[in-house]
Chains A and B, each alone.
Chain A
Amino acid sequence: MSLLAPGTTAHHAPGSVDEMAELYRRLDADGTTTVVIGGGNHLGVGNPVLADVSVATEALDAIIDYQPDDLTLTVEAGVTMGAIDELLDPHRQTAALPETEPTATIGGVVAAGISGYRRSRFGPTRDRVLEVTVVTGDGRVVTGGARVVKNVSGYDLPRLATGSFGALGVIVSVCLKLWPEPESRATVRLDDPADADSLYRPLAVLETEEGAWAYLQGPASEVASSASIGIVQSDGFTWPTFDAPGTAEMRVPPALVPDAVQRLNVPFIAQHGVGIVAMATEDPDVLEPARSWCESVGGSLVVTSRSGPVDAAPSIDPWGTPPPAQSLQRRLIAAFDPRRIVNRGRLPGGI
């Protein structure tokens, strides 16, 4: 499937890193602006990008290096969550990436800085990107980090690239830190999410308008003893999803999740202990006051998907108040994409 982003006149899908670099050297010389497309799952995040051409990572779909005994996996950016799971499952390992988006590509997930539900145990995706290779806006091939689990050699380019929304260029490959899958799992229904407070670091505690669940994993004996806090619903994980065209996310200090939930009368998925409450709405009358509150407690409210064409003007600013150090962010971006041709304007503040 080839996605042509709305408004663009041409579509490129280079099949190798060299081709991608060659393409960007040419586009940069011409000053042609581009929108980068992975699986197309997260195009609705951030400010709309009005670009001349679209560039896809779909043809960069190679598994570069899987080292099960080392718990590392290096893949090209177009490899999907589904493909990664398929590769790792027989080895009983996981990259702990978003659980409910099998068609999302790893490049897109890293560029958008998206994490799955298991982050209270394994950290956000950002903490598990060990190496990244980026084709910069002017067609340089830049690698940072390395394929080992502990490394402080040079500036942390993998962290800078994670959540950069293409501002440094096109992420063409990443190395991920993996974790072993546990012996046992359980999804446990709770009367009250606070019932999970007695547990030592559960994998996840989620709440929706339909109730609350604790997700447990580990040695069978541990899962069995912890599961007594509620009613076991399954010996696997069933993760909640939305079936809504427009969604947004409140991001607040973790202890404020119950407060956030109190404020809502739309369908939601709250991650207790993490500080994220996803909402199935794009109604500005709901989002604006929620945003004021999030920002007043040091957080943010971010639009995570929109109905209608992705190049249409959004009904609410996708990001809210931009973070500090805007000029520094601009200088950093200019170091990678001097003519600002990759996803121009997508970041907070229209950078």
Chain B
Amino acid sequence: MSLVSDLIAVLGRDRVLDDRLDSWTYGKDAGVFRGEADVVVLPESTEEVAEIVRVAERHSTSIVPRGAGTGLAGGAVPVDRNVIVSMIRMNEITDVDPENRTAWVGPGVVNLDLSRHTEVHGLHFAPDPSSQSACTIGGNVGNNSGGPHCLAEGTTVNHVLAVEVVLAGGEVVTVGGGAPDPIGLDLRGILVGSEGTLGIVTKVLVKLTPNAPDVRTLLCAFDSVEDAARAVSGIIAAGVVPAALELMDQRMTEAVENWLKAGLPTDAAAILLAEVSGGTAAVKAEAAVIREVATSSGASSVSLAADEAERQILWKARKSAFGAVAQTAPDYYLHDTTVPRTRLVEAMTEAYAIGDKYDLVMMNVFHAGDGNLHPLMTFDASQPGSFERVRAAADEIVEMCVSKGGVLSGEHGIGKEKRDLMGLMFDAPALDAQARIKEAFDPGGLFNPHKILPQGSRCFDFGRTVPVPDGAWI
């Protein structure tokens, strides 16, 4: 029997999509790469996922798990011809436990829907990617996603207590648990952020966070990006870790303001959105520190969101920034390197210089408190050579950030996009160790091949590290 007919036997005709249009539609995520799938399947239960894995193994076809496809690094993009396993139908929220502040959720649950669902208990899911109205919990787990409010609360992995996962061979295991410090190796910790390369996550036990009694959001305007970046370092150094600390440069503010009319100061070279949350006295005191540091770093104005409506519009402005870019050019490309926060100013300055060197329009909107940059370059993919130019500039930015002690990705993942840059960050033994982790989980290379690790990662052995005498040819 063919792959498709075997899959139909498991799922029925409706949930197996195999026409050209489907494989085209599912061939992309929100990044710039495109692939083409053999077939797309829509399982509704863990048992079905396990059966799909077995069918794929029988047909020696690899598998790409997929959430909402909002990833930016090509994680959900098929490289070979694969079976795409779309998890969006597994979107049930079960067992909300307000006492223990946990819930079991299907990987297809949309991030924002989860927080809406638990609002009645005064709880929310802390990771809030700007794409939260579309992206799924499974995708968040896949990429260990962050968001503006991950500065104080940490990224997805800090909010996932257990996962049920289908491994090679269709084996189903649940790792982690609702009690603290489960015994044995932390398989949960390695599965989160593994970008679908180790198995398919079919259920997630999330930790929920109590909504803060009080919150204050400040909008600080600066005459230079460097001053704004300096204020970020200054706030952290002053001993305040805000709930969120986001920076937007003038080009970005203009793009956002142009369609949202949120009241952002478009004459400022940069704005900083700072939020503190907690007890009333605490937020008052912390907001005062932020105001003081921003002012002494050269802020031209600092204003406080007057009410919840004003606060919401500020966050809408921040979270819709990527979307607003569409008015400027048809395509954009960005990396999300993190640098040590003390090197934010120089990293920003050099990133703009690289953009200028390649004659590209660069806009910035990013999680400044974490040092997590998002230098975004606009282009028109229909112009020959334009993407190559953008890619060259982007790679140069990554190299510059890594040379400052930074990393390739702070939250978007490595995927297909950055796997060939992994050697910038990791030496041969480190890459080899990662390849061995992949092998331990997925010896047959079934799950999401050609992602994260560059070709040839699994190469290190002692036979080859014996020092070669000077002048020898190898």
Contacts and interface: CB of A to CB of B under 8 A. Distances in A.
Interface of A: 25, 67-72, 92, 113, 115, 119, 123-124, 126-127, 136, 138-144, 146-157, 159-160, 162-164, 167, 179-183, 200-201, 218-222, 224-226, 251-255, 274-276, 294, 297-300, 302, 319-320, 322-325, 328-329, 331-336, 347-349
Contact of B157 (A68, A159, A300, A334): A159
B212 interface: yes
Contacts of A25: 462
Given A143-B426, A153-B425, A252-B179, A226 B279 contact: yes
Contact of A67 (B212, B342, B422, B453): B342
A152 B186 contact: no
B463 interface: no
Considering the complex of A and B, which 10 residue pairs feature the smallest CB-CB distances, nearest first? A159-B189, A299-B179, A219-B285, A180-B239, A335-B436, A255-B99, A222-B282, A221-B281, A222-B281, A331-B440
Interface residues of B, number: 89
A332 B430 contact: no
B210 interface: yes
Interface of B: 97, 99-102, 143-144, 146, 150, 154-155, 157-158, 167, 173-175, 177-187, 189-190, 192-194, 210, 212-213, 233, 236-237, 239-241, 278-282, 284-286, 338-342, 367, 370-372, 405-414, 418, 422, 425-427, 429-430, 432-434, 436-441, 452-453, 460, 462
Contacts of B280: 222, 225
A319 B183 contact: yes
A163 B181 contact: yes
Contact of A225 (B184, B279, B405, B414): B279
Contact of B236 (A69, A155, A347): A69
Given A325-B175, A347-B185, A150 B414 contact: no
B420 to A, nearest CB: 13
B253 to A, nearest CB: 24
Nearest to B439: A335
A155 B194 contact: yes
Given A153-B414, A218-B279, A143 B177 contact: no
Given A127-B158, A142-B430, A349-B184, 13 more contacts: A70-B341, A144-B430, A148-B410, A149-B370, A152-B193, A152-B414, A156-B144, A162-B186, A163-B185, A180-B239, A225-B280, A253-B179, A332-B185
A251 B189 contact: no
Nearest to B421: A153
Given A69-B342, A300-B179, A123 B411 contact: no
A74 to B, nearest CB: 11
B286 A219 contact: yes
Nearest to B182: A323
A331 B210 CA distance: 39
Given A147-B340, A219-B286, A126 B186 contact: yes
Contacts of B437: 155, 157, 160, 332, 335
B183 A324 contact: no
B407 to A, nearest CB: 5
A150 B410 contact: yes
Contacts of A119: 180
Contacts of A336: 433, 436
B428 to A, nearest CB: 10
Contacts of A153: 407-409, 414, 418, 422, 425
A336 B185 CA distance: 13
Contacts of B408: 153
Contacts of B178: 253, 298-299
Given A298-B178, A300-B183, A152 B144 contact: yes
Contacts of B189: 126, 156, 159-160, 162
A69 B184 contact: no
A157 B433 CA distance: 9
Nearest to B438: A155
Contacts of A324: 173-175
11 contacts: A25-B462, A150-B370, A151-B410, A152-B412, A154-B430, A154-B434, A156-B189, A156-B190, A225-B279, A225-B281, A299-B179
Contacts of A252: 179
B186 A159 contact: yes
Given A140-B433, A150-B150, A218-B279, A328 B210 contact: no
A221 B284 contact: yes
Given A299-B179, A335-B439, A322 B411 contact: no
A253 B281 contact: no
A275 B173 contact: no
A349 B192 CA distance: 24
Contacts of A251: 179-182
A67 B433 CA distance: 28
Contacts of A67: 340, 342
Question: Which of A25, A67, A222 has the most chain B CB atoms closer than 10 A to its own CB?
Answer: A222
Nearest to B422: A154
Contacts of B146: 150
B377 to A, nearest CB: 21
A295 to B, nearest CB: 10
A334 B437 CA distance: 10
A142 B371 CA distance: 25
Contacts of A274: 180
A348 B184 contact: yes
B174 A113 contact: no
Nearest to B413: A152
